[in-house]
């Protein structure tokens, strides 16, 4: 699968799933970055340019909803 296909596949990497699960818990970029050991910019980039397009989501809340309904994240 090419990178372009992966970008719209609806699946997430382990790092993306971890970040989105923390979004689901209500954490902001700063807190997520501290927990994952990455920069705040990396978290924002991972969500905006990785997770949202892969899921076809309009925003973070929509991404969490889509991931939960698709079984990517637990309810």
What pLDDT, in 10s, does the model give residues 6-52?
455 678 999 999 999 999 999 999 999 999 999 999 999 999 999 99
In a domain, 7, yes or no: yes
In a domain, 75, yes or no: no
- pLDDT of 2 strictly over 50: no
As for how many domains the chain has, the answer is 1
In a domain, 56, yes or no: yes
Token reading at 51: 């997770």
Query: Given pLDDT bands bounded at 50, 70 and 90, which one contains residue 74?
Result: very high
In a domain, 48, yes or no: yes
In a domain, 74, yes or no: no
Domain of 17: which CATH number? 1.10.10.10
In a domain, 54, yes or no: yes
Return the closest-CA partner of residue 55 out of 29, 17, 22.
17
pTM for this prediction: 0.84
* pLDDT value at residue 9: 61
The boundaries of the domain holding residue 65 are 3-69
Q: What is the DSSP letter of 49?
A: I
* pLDDT value at residue 12: 94
Up-side HSE of residue 21: CA atoms within 13 Å toward CB?
Answer: 14
Return the closest-CA partner of residue 53 out of 15, 16, 14.
16
Give the C-alpha separation, 64 to 39, whole Å.
21
């Amino acid at each position: 699968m090419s990178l372009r296909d992966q970008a719209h596949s609806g699946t997430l990497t382990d790092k993306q799933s971890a970040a989105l699960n923390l979004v689901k818990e209500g954490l902001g970029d700063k807190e997520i970055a501290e927990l994952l050991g990455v920069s705040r910019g990396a978290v924002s980039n991972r969500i905006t340019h990785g997770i949202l397009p892969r899921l076809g989501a309009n925003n973070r809340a929509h991404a969490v909803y889509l991931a939960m309904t698709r079984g990517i994240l637990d309810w």
